[in-house]
Amino acid sequence: MTGDLGTALTSGAYITASITKRLSNTLFLAVWAAIIAVPLAIFLGLLAVRFKDRWPDKLISAVTLASISIPEFLIGYVLMYLIAVKLRWFPSVAMINDGMSLGEKLSAIALPVTVLTLVVLAHMMRMTRAAILNVMQSAYIETAELKGLNGFQVIFRHAFPNAIAPIVNVVMLNLAYLVVGVVVIEVVFVYPGMGQYLVDHVSKRDVPVVQACGLIFAAVYIGLNMIADIVAILSNPRLRHPK
């Protein structure tokens, strides 16, 4: 075990060196997508619970379901056509390099981040909604209501802390997807990340590179799921403070 990933068969370049650059790009994209998607999903989930079976709930459900049902490459091209080509707000190709400022970089990745957000939003939002609705059946929610708290106070103070474990689980799964599952988006937007690197080398039958990518993707996946389990333990006082 040396951590040396070897050299690529096709170019003879060190895999570690080229993968580091690619990985940091992928993480940059994933982190920005997560920063927008996770709070938005949880907020929409809480909103859906608060107005359960009324129009805000139905609207949120319909929009998020539609966005998860349409294939991401299609959303990608449609957005590219509308926003980049027609409106000319953001560039259609998400090329970034070290010479760009943060603002320029963000402008470049605006479209892929939007698509990724739309893809992962529905899953997290629906899980948040389901987990909190499940907790809302508990007797202590009735106690909270009988204390004269308003709807949001009940949901936020009393329901949410008990729904953290399932929510964190599904959030982590989606974060892993943001890192691991971006292959399609990176190809669509020609983004210089891990996904494109992987696809390039799969087409060239460059096994060591594919192995290295698989290794890193697996590590990310396991790492994030472990964080989910740890957070679940920390959020449960029964596990934190045994009798």
Partner 1 sequence: MSDLQLQVRDLKIGATVYPPGEKTHDIEIVHGVSFDLEKGKVLGLIGESGAGKSTIGFAAMSYGRGGVKITGGEVWINGRDVLKSDTGDIRKLRGGEVTYVSQSAAGSFNPAKKILDQVVEAAVEQNKFSRKDAEARARDLFEKLGLPDPENIGDRYPHQVSGGQLQRCMTALALCPEPDLVVFDEPTTALDVTTQIDVLMAIKAAIRETGVAALYITHDLAVVAQVSDDIMVLRHGDMVEYGPVDQIINHPQEEYTQALVSVRSINHEEKEPNGEPVLCVRNITARYKGTQFDVLHNVNVELYPGQTLAVVGESGSGKSTLARVITGLLPPREGEIEFAGRNLSADLAGRSQEDLRELQMIYHVADVAMYPRQTVGTIIGRPLEFYFEMKGDEKRKRIIALLDEIELGEEFIDRYPAELSGGQKQRVCIARALAAKPKMIICDEVTSALDPLVADGILKLLLNLQKIEDVAFLFITHDLATVRAISDTIAVMYQGKVQRYGGKTKVLSPPFDDYTDTFCSARSPRCVWAGWKR
| H/E element, 108 | helix 102-135
Rg of the chain, C-alpha, whole Å: 21
Q: Should residue 139 be labelled a site residue for partner 1 when binding is judged by CB under 8 A? A: yes
User: Residue 234: CB partners within 8 Å, gap ≥ 6?
Assistant: 240
Residue 43 CB, nearest distance to partner 1 (Å)? 20
- Residue 181 has what DSSP assignment? S
Select from 6, 161, 214, 223 the one that contacts partner 1 (CB under 8 A). 161
Binding mask 186-225 for partner 1 (x = CB under 8 A): ----------------------------------------
Using rule CB under 8 A, residue 152 touches partner 1: no
| 227 exposure class (CB count in 10 Å sphere: 0-12, 13-18, 19+) | middle
Secondary structure (DSSP) of 190-238: T--SHHHHHHHHHHTT-HHHHHHHHHHHHHHHHHHHHHHHHHHHHT-HH
Query: Toward partner 1, which CB reaches closer, 58 or 157?
Result: 157
Q: Min. distance of Cβ 42 from partner 1 in angstroms?
A: 17
Choice from 73, 81, 89, 140 touching partner 1 (CB under 8 A): 140
User: Is 230 an interacting residue with respect to partner 1 (CB under 8 A)?
Assistant: no
Contact positions toward partner 1, by CB under 8 A?
Answer: 138-140, 142-150, 153, 157-158, 161-162, 235-238, 241, 243
